[in-house]
Amino acid sequence: MEEKELRRYSRVVVDGDEQASSRAMLRAVGFSDEDFKRPQIGIASTWAMTTPCNMHINDLAAEAADGANKAGGKGVIFNTITISDGISMGTPGMRYSLVSREIIADSIEAVTAGEGFDGLVAIGGCDKNMPGCIMAMARLNRPSIFVYGGTIRPGAKRRDIVSVFEAVGAKSSGKIDDEELLDVERTAIPGPGACGGMYTANTMASAIEALGMSLANSSAQEAISEQKVDDCRQAGEAVLNLIREDIKPLDIMTREAFENAIAVVIALGGSTNAVLHLVAMAREADVPLTIDDFTTIGARTPLLADLKPSGKYLMSELIEIGGIQPLMKRMLDRGLLHGDCLTVTGKTLAENLADVEDYPAGQDVIRDFDNPIKPDSHLAILYGNLAPEGAVAKITGKEGLRFEGTASVYHSEEEALQAILDGDIQAGHVVVIRFEGPKGGPGMREMLSPTGAIMGKGLGADVALITDGRFSGGSHGFVVGHVTPEAAVGGPIALIEDGDTIVIDAEAKQISLSISDEEMATRRQAWKRPASPVKTGALAKYRNEVSSASEGAVTIPPPWDD
């Protein structure tokens, strides 16, 4: 490629007499004469001191910029936002978490397009950073690589953030005292990095690597490690190769690549949020993908990883045995992945995996195919008179495959949590939390506090929870989220009454309210939408624009009508 073609976008900004003012501004931020002849690489850093997940990312961004510079480009670091799910969990602030995914995508798109970057490296650490970065890459369709900021190291006694949420439930039931709760709080988070189980951050990092948008093992490195530093430098170098080879995100993010991502998420026992985010990412890439694809792929893909929250091991322990690359090699050999998908290395997935060694003998983090934790997916897409547009259940089988119980209905997460802590929820109850969907919240909060409290009280196998909100990747138990249509638009979840019988059947893929159609119609006719407390600002804009959770809760407007 000629030099000007390598600078497809930046030359519009810096070439010619008429752009002298642009060059003058750039000289002030460190550009030299030679830098104007180089492809400009935007380095999107999600650094913030708002969360340990991202507190180290500016250092990683500097490494990525250095890699780009040494490979013949000019790295330019810029920032976008992050909101900590773990900190905002259980508070009104959590309403901004999913909203931040859209803000991150918008801001990366705006800076990259506005500044005329020729390529992009985006580094994300917390849950919404990752899909937000990929959504922006799909929109921009400029040579791009995603780098995961890395997982946190385990705390004392192999504790992590979910240990804290479950300790709250344990204390409320008298299983631990104030001193032990404080000890868990003080030792669970030892430093930088994303939450340490196969929660949403590690799930999405793995999905993006399987999608082909990260370098090998980017998803399976600790935040504070030489491997992660090398990953960032190599990403900076690799994006220059993508520019030279004219390989863009939409060349990589094909339908088959998304199928690979889904299959890997299932094998790892990943978060329900992967359903929401992968559908949203595919929407941005104009790839046809629906929640029903998780059922189709899930029918042939076993759950193999014994990872938290429902399993035994942390991400750091998976890293010790080789990360997800050996798992992907096994899946490829088994015919569960599409090996001909292009990746950011410039090679196909099969070529990347050709020389990957298998896991060491004796490990039990990843099961063999003849001894799966579950022979099919733990992510069940349920339909029925309670969810005519679908719901997402996370059921590993350890909590059973069918639950029938009596509804206890709450209009917010806070109400439900207090009832659980007060002992109002007993075996046989189905906790119903509504008006927490994308529009109803607004913002679709995660229900880790209630699910953590249920597990901490020892009720995980005896109590179910359903919601039009969503779950943290750290949630486990008999839980069903993303119930659509949501309560705020008059979905059937809005019509449940205390004492109703609810049946959740993971094998039949059904969720139903045991009342007659006539009774359902009577309740619907009497129903009135409650007033939203949100009138202005980002939440109001989100509420007015957001789609259903079954469509990824995206805010993409309809095509302009010419």
Catalytic residues, by residue number, are 472
Q: How many CA atoms lie within 13 A of 470 on its CB side?
A: 27
Residue 490 carries which side chain, given as an amino acid letter? Answer: G
Residue 300's contacts (CB-CB under 8 Å, 6 or more residues apart) are 336, 376
Written as six digits, the tokens of 213 are: 């948008």
| Residue 394, Ramachandran bin (φ over 0: left; ψ between -120 and 50: alpha; else beta) | beta
C-alpha R_g of the chain: 23
**Strand ranges in 385-457 using DSSP code E only, listed in sequence order:** 387-394, 402-410, 429-433
For β-strands 74-79 and 144-148, DSSP reports them as unpaired
Pair 454, 460: CB distance under 8 Å: yes
In degrees rounded to 5, what are phi and psi of residue 516? -75, 160
Residue 211's contacts (CB-CB under 8 Å, 6 or more residues apart) are 134, 252, 253, 257, 258, 260, 261
Instruction: Give the end-to-end CA distance of the chain in Å, rounded to a whole number.
Output: 37
DSSP 153: P
For β-strands 119-124 and 144-148, DSSP reports them as parallel
Pair 393, 480: CB distance under 8 Å: yes
Burial class of residue 21 (count of CB atoms within 10 Å of its CB; 0-12, 13-18, 19+): exposed
Query: What is the C-alpha separation between 37 and 277, in angstroms, rounded?
Result: 37
> Torsion angle of alpha carbons 538, 539, 541, 543, nearest 10°?
160
Closest residue by Cα to residue 437 from 474, 479, 483, 386: 483
The helix (H) or strand (E) run that includes residue 501 is strand 501-505
> Torsion angle of alpha carbons 335, 337, 342, 345, nearest 10°?
-110
Beta bridge partners of 433: 410, 467
Residue 144's contacts (CB-CB under 8 Å, 6 or more residues apart) are 119, 120, 121, 122, 137, 213, 239, 242, 248, 249, 344
